[in-house]
Amino acid sequence: QVQLVESGGGLVQAGGSLRLSCAASGIISSYEMGWFRQVPGKDREFVAAVTMSGASTYYADSVKGRFTITADSAKNTVYLQMNTLKPEDTAVYYCAAGRLRTLFIGTPGSWGQGTQVTVTS
């Protein structure tokens, strides 16, 4: 099992930036990491994923050009740099780890606890 510890959430004005971090620990073999977000009453939404080699990144259309996901494989850590934040980005953000396909379909092997991101207008 991979344990995921997230940090970096908070409250920010529209147009501002936040950086989320997620560190993985425990028994780690082959996996990729990514981020999801969820608003009350809605399904959890894919945001971004990265191969731990850093070779490939994937983004939801809603965040392309504004968010950047990066991986530090040596530290088993993934980051989500969120720029030009909008009120509609407000959500609980969850780190996830698993095979790439499981990230795409929303069934990763491991989830973080979630961190709140609130963007005010």
CA distance 37 to 23: 17
Q: Residue 29 corresponds to which tokens in the numbers above?
A: 């073999």
Contact between residue 115 and residue 93 where contact means Cβ atoms under 8 Å apart:
yes
Q: What is the reported pLDDT for 98?
A: 93
Averages of pLDDT over each 10 residues, the chain, 121 residues: 92 98 81 95 97 92 98 92 98 96 94 97 94
Q: Residue 33 corresponds to which tokens in the numbers above?
A: 């990491």
Q: What is the reported pLDDT for 27?
A: 61
Q: What is the reported pLDDT for 1?
A: 72
Q: What is the reported pLDDT for 55?
A: 87
Contact between residue 44 and residue 106 where contact means Cβ atoms under 8 Å apart:
yes
Q: What is the reported pLDDT for 29?
A: 66
